[in-house]
Amino acid sequence: MSDHPTTLDYQWHGRTLPHTVGKRQLLTVVGILVILLTGMEIKARQDNYPVNFPFTADMWAKQWHRLKPQQTVFIGASRMQFGMIINEWEQQLGARPLLLAWPGQSPAPVLTELANNNSFSGTVLCGVAPSFTFIAQHVPWQNWMKNNLKRAEIGEVSLSYHMSVTAHGYLRPHVKCLNDAAYSPVANSYFGFPIPDRKNLLPPIMFRFNATRDDDNQMRFLDVIETSKDRQDLILARMETGRRRMLHFGPASIDSLLDQFTTDVKKIQSRGGQVIFIRPPSNGVFRQFEHDHYPRMEYWDKLIEATGCHGIHFEDHPELEELVCVEESHLSKSDAILFTRRVINILVNNGIIEPMQNHSGDSSSAGQGL
């Protein structure tokens, strides 16, 4: 018979943790978080940046859901966000427009959506930035507007959408440290501790906090950007990276693009609306790039001829051509107001839009015909 016991007497070696440890850890983490957020909020209030809304599809969809049947709408890329000032348009003409432009985007998808919206019969100011309007449609960043349109389609029945826009609308103006563009750890580390790029490498198109986007989707440069040559040079370096990517993808098929523009314009016109094409200013290397790779005769002129629409090209109007962009592509706050006033005067003086009663615009910059 074995001397070993038939049952094993396990000896458990466990250590009971005090119940207070979990609470203490939680309180410690919460305390550190509160201290960090308080410090960030103090810093943000000292910086006193204008309220900045995020670069998200929800913010664009919010504008789309404000659309009214006979409204004036601005579409296109960021040059329209910087250059056509909503408040100035309303002050001069008495009606508030809607800004549906988005950085780096062709106006074509939004124009198609407006054309297919049978209740819309307003005026569309379609901004043309050649290297974005006429670029190949399969470039990755064109997905931004596709995502915006998808979000707008489901936004009215999406709880996450309503929670997002409500939270941003309330918190952004009151909690300054929620400015993710200004206080992004990734972006601040990237620019604060720069590492030289490898030869022939295309660095990411990442910008420092240079401009704000308000609740109307209007973009404006920070004051420091308009005055600092060093900060402007940093933007120019990033824009060069963007142009190299544009060259990689090349232009769109101009014939198919013109067919789509023409179809959309006719739909809007059939309901009593109109489309006006606007070519905002560009300068320097960027302007030369557009001339070289998207020549006016092959793109802008064909667009106006095919659609039969009114078009305002800044090169045709000395009062527009004299405006100089901050970083070769976007206007300063003061010049954007002048640009908006002068575009209005051109449109009014040529009978394209109706003036407001007792309208008093920038009479020194009257349009010189289309």
At 229-271, the pLDDT tens digits run 999 998 998 898 889 889 988 999 999 999 999 999 999 999 9
* Beta carbons of 343 and 309 less than 8 angstroms apart: no
* Beta carbons of 114 and 83 less than 8 angstroms apart: no
Helical axes 229-249 vs 284-293, angle rounded to 10° = 10
Within 8 A by CB and 6+ apart from 61, the residues are 148, 151, 152, 155, 161, 165
Sign of the alpha-carbon dihedral angle for 96, 97, 100, 103: negative
Average pLDDT, integer, range 24-30: 87
- Extract the tokens encoding 177: 């440290």
* Confidence at residue 196, expressed as pLDDT on a 0 to 100 scale: 78
Position 31 pLDDT exceeds 50: yes
* Confidence at residue 365, expressed as pLDDT on a 0 to 100 scale: 39
Q: Which amino acid is located at 112 in the chain?
A: T
Name the 3-class secondary structure at 146: helix
- Extract the tokens encoding 44: 């943000």
Ranges 63-72, 204-213, 253-262, 311-320: which has the least confidence: 204-213
Ranges 50-64, 94-108, 186-200, 201-215: which has the least confidence: 186-200
Name the pairing type of β-strands 310-313 and 274-279.
Answer: parallel
Q: Which amino acid is located at 317 in the chain?
A: H
- Report the share of the chain in percent with pLDDT over 70: 90
Host H or E run for residue 58: helix 57-64
Ranges 2-16, 128-142, 146-160, 220-234: which has the least confidence: 2-16
Average pLDDT, integer, range 111-133: 97
* Confidence at residue 6, expressed as pLDDT on a 0 to 100 scale: 56
Average pLDDT, integer, range 217-232: 95
Mean model confidence pLDDT for the chain: 89
* Confidence at residue 151, expressed as pLDDT on a 0 to 100 scale: 94
- Extract the tokens encoding 97: 């427009």
Position 7 pLDDT exceeds 60: no
Q: Which residue has the higher pLDDT, 110 or 198?
A: 110
Helical axes 57-64 vs 159-174, angle rounded to 10° = 100
* Confidence at residue 21, expressed as pLDDT on a 0 to 100 scale: 58
- Interval 167-180: pLDDT, tens: 999 999 999 999 98
E runs forming strands in the chain: 72-75, 98-99, 123-127, 211-213, 219-221, 274-279, 310-313
* Confidence at residue 180, expressed as pLDDT on a 0 to 100 scale: 87
Residues shown for the chain: 370
Question: Which of 326, 370, 324 lies closest to 350, judged by CA?
Answer: 370
Average pLDDT, integer, range 187-192: 81
Name the 3-class secondary structure at 298: helix
Within 8 A by CB and 6+ apart from 365, the residues are 319, 338, 341, 342, 345
Position 351 pLDDT exceeds 90: yes
Sign of the alpha-carbon dihedral angle for 62, 224, 333, 125: negative
- Interval 309-323: pLDDT, tens: 999 999 999 999 999
Position 106 pLDDT exceeds 70: yes
* Confidence at residue 360, expressed as pLDDT on a 0 to 100 scale: 45
Ramachandran angles phi, psi of 275, nearest 5°: -120, 130
Position 226 pLDDT exceeds 80: yes
Highest mean pLDDT among 127-141, 156-170, 301-315, 343-357: 301-315
* Confidence at residue 362, expressed as pLDDT on a 0 to 100 scale: 47
Ramachandran angles phi, psi of 260, nearest 5°: -65, -45
* Confidence at residue 2, expressed as pLDDT on a 0 to 100 scale: 53
* Confidence at residue 270, expressed as pLDDT on a 0 to 100 scale: 97
* Beta carbons of 133 and 77 less than 8 angstroms apart: yes
Position 325 pLDDT exceeds 90: yes
* Confidence at residue 363, expressed as pLDDT on a 0 to 100 scale: 40
* Confidence at residue 115, expressed as pLDDT on a 0 to 100 scale: 98
Position 359 pLDDT exceeds 80: no
